[in-house]
Amino acid sequence: MSHRPIYLDCHATTPMDKRVLEAMLPYFTEYFGNSSSISHVYGWEAEAGVKQARQILADAIHATPEEIIFTSGATEANNLAIKGVAEAYFSKGRHLITVQTEHRAVLDPCHYLENLGFEVTLLPVQQDGLIDLTQLEKAIRPETILVSVMAANNEIGVLQPLAEIGKICHQQQVLFHTDAAQAIGKIPLDVQAMNIDLMSLTAHKVYGPKGIGALYVRRRHPRVRLAPQIQGGGQERGLRSGTLYTPQIVGFAKAVALGLETQASESEHLLQLRKSLWSSLSELPNIHLNGHPTQRLSGNLNISVEDVDGSALLLGLQPVVAVSSGSACSSTNLGPSHVLLALGHPESLASASIRFGIGRFNTAAEITQVAKQAIATIASLRRSLTLRRQ
C-alpha cells in the first residue's frame, strides 16, 4: 500500500470510511432480509435499517422521509429527475434549462430529450464558473418545466448560488433540480430554505459505498409529479422499483451522518491543505486557478499550466500522486474538459490542467510532497520545451 501514489482524486470517488463499513456489515449476513417482506422478522429488520437511513438522509437536507427515493447513484437520480419531469409535464411545456458546466449525467439526458422534441437552453457560465442570475431569469419562458443547476462542480468545485436560483424558480413556478453529488455532507443543503424541488445525491463522494444514491422529490408546495424510469415491484412509491440494497443504504446514511457531524472542522482542514498547495504552486509563473477563488468546495484545487503538454504533466505526476485532468467520467473522451472550455479557456490551456481533490484522510505532509513533485515536473517540462524551441 505504501508504494502507491498519494490519492488526491476525491471528486472521482472517495475511500470508504471504516466506520461506514462497520455499519454496513451486519446487513449483509445477519439482517439480510428483503425490506419488502412484511410477514416475518427478517423483512422487518431490513425495513428498520432502511427506515432509519431514510430519516437520517431526509434530516440532512431538511426533507421528509417519504421524499427520499433510493437509486443506484447520482447518475440514475439525474436521469429520473430530468426524464421523469419531462414525461410528466410535457403537456405543460417542453423547455428545460441547464448549464454548460453540468456533469454528463445531466447533459446527456437533456440531449436525449432534445432528440424527442424538447428544447434545452444551455446557460453559459462567467469566467469564475458561476452562472449569471439575470441570464437565468431571462431564459425562463411560460413553457419552461425544469431548471437544473448543480450544487458543486465536480471539476472546478464551484458552488452555484442555490438559494438565489431556487428563489427565481419558485417565483416563476418552474421546478428546480440540483445535482448535489459533490455537495452532500460537505456544505449545508436545505431544500426548504433553498426552494429545491428535486435533488440528486450519491454516497461514494462522501466516504460511503459506490452504487447507492437518492433523489429527493418534493411532496408539498408543490407536489412534484414524476414518471418512473424503472418499473416493476413498486418499491419507493412506484418511482423506482427493485429490491432495496439494504447494506448500501445503511452505509450511505452513515457516511452522510459522519459528514454532517464534522462538516465545519473538516472543511477547515481541507481549506488549510488546499491553501498550502496553491501557495506553493502559485509561486511558479503562468499558472492559473480555475473557478471562483473562494466560492468553491474546500477540497478542490483546479489549475491550468501554461507551456506544458497536458498528458506529459499527468504522466510526470503519476508515480507520486493520483490526480486527473478534467473529470473521471469524461476521461474516456480525450478532448479538453467541457467545463474548462466553458470558462473561456483556449484548448491548449484547457488540456494542460490538473484537478486536485483533497479528502478527509489526506495530511499536510502529503500535500508538501505533492507540491514538490508538481513544481519539479512543471519546471522540467518547461525546460525541455525551451530546449526544443532553441
Ligand X SMILES: *Cc1c(COP(=O)(O)O)cnc(C)c1O
Binding mask 6-45 for ligand X (x = CB under 6 A): ----------------------------------------
Interface residue with ligand X, options 181, 189, 199, 301 (CB under 6 A): 181
Candidates 60, 63, 150, 349; binder of ligand X (CB under 6 A) is 150
Q: Is 154 in the site for ligand X (CB under 6 A)?
A: yes
Residue with Cβ nearer ligand X (202 or 351): 202
- When asked if residue 182 is in the footprint of ligand X (CB under 6 A), the reply is yes
Residue pair 154/182 in contact (Cβ under 8 Å)? The answer is yes
CB of 258 to ligand X, least distance (A): 18
Number of residues that bind ligand X (CB under 6 A): 13
Decide if residue 168 touches ligand X (CB under 6 A): no
Can 329 be counted among the known catalytic residues?
A: yes
Collect all residues with Cβ–Cβ distance below 8 Å to 150 and sequence separation of at least 6: 99, 101, 102, 103, 106, 160, 178, 179, 180, 181, 182
Compute the distance between CA of residue 267 and CA of residue 246 in angstroms, rounded to an integer: 29
Q: Among the candidate windows 72-80, 224-232, 240-248, 288-296, which touches ligand X by CB under 6 A?
A: 72-80
Under the binding rule (CB under 6 A), the answer on residue 259 touching ligand X is: no
Strand order in 144-148's β-sheet?
68-71, 213-217, 198-202, 175-179, 144-148, 95-99, 119-123
Neighbours of 24 (CB within 10 A): 22
Q: Report the residue from 73, 247, 326, 357 that binds ligand X according to the rule CB under 6 A.
A: 73
> Min. distance of Cβ 205 from ligand X in angstroms?
6
> Of 129, 157, 209, 213, which lies in the binding site for ligand X, with binding defined by CB under 6 A?
213
Q: Name the residue among 128, 20, 146 with its Cα closest to residue 80.
A: 146
**Is there binding between residue 155 and ligand X (CB under 6 A)?**
no
Q: Work out whether 229 is an interface residue with ligand X (CB under 6 A).
A: no
Whether the CB-CB separation of 323 and 314 falls below 8 Å is answered with yes
Minimum distance, C-beta of residue 328 to ligand X, in the bound complex (Å): 8
Query: Closest CB to ligand X among 8 and 371?
Result: 8
Q: How far apart are CA 319 and CA 4, in angstroms?
A: 8
Identify which of residues 80 and 320 has a Cβ nearer to ligand X in the complex.
Answer: 80
Name the residue number minimizing CB distance to ligand X: 73
How far is Cα 61 from Cα 183, in angstroms, rounded to an integer? 11
Whose cell is 425490506? That residue is 35
CA 4 to chain centroid, in Å, comes to: 26
The reply on whether position 105 binds ligand X by CB under 6 A is: yes
Quickly tell me which residue has 447518475 as its cell.
75
Q: Which amino acid is at 66?
A: E
* Residues forming the active site: 329
Binding site for ligand X (CB under 6 A): 73-75, 103, 105, 150, 154, 179, 181-182, 202, 205, 213
